[in-house]
Amino acid sequence: MRLSEVFDQQSIKLNLEGSTKEAVFAELIGTIAAIHPEFNREEMFSVIQNRESKMNASPVSGVAVPHGYYPGTSGVIGAIGISETDIDYNALDNKPVHSVFLVIMGEAAREKHLHVLSQVLSLINSGALALIRQARDPREVYEVLSRFR
């Protein structure tokens, strides 16, 4: 599964407005709900919020990968948000976050979700995150994502 299959161009937001993780969650869930109107925004938000309350998902400085299981989907879907300003994420290293890869998956997609999270970490460690942060539009981000599988 390619990252471009998880993150649709329409779910890539290059200028996040939120400055807290809750506000960013709402923004990114909004992009997913725009593509999948059958999904319940409040339930998705609750899934992500509950998972975050158990374990903070900021594995790398400046990056967060919130994720959770949502019964409304059978696969893996996501949204990417990039912010020029600091997001108060309460990260493990106490530093602000600027890049968020939000992932929602169904229970049946447990193995796929681990693969997707691994791919996101590979992307971050490869230096591709710099390309994503420099992107001028979602299409450029999508092109970077399409190289990872």
What tens digit of pLDDT does each residue of 77-132 get?
Answer: 999 999 999 998 888 788 889 999 999 988 777 777 678 888 888 888 888 889 99
pLDDT 10s digits, 14-73: 999 999 999 999 999 999 999 999 999 999 999 999 988 887 776 667 889 999 988 878
Say whether pTM exceeds 0.85.
yes
- Cα 118 to Cα 16, 49, 61: the distances in Å are 24, 21, 16
How many helices (H) and strands (E) the chain has is answered by 6, 5
Which tokens in the block code for residue 42? 């409040």
What structural domains and CATH numbers belong to the chain? 3-145 (3.40.930.10)
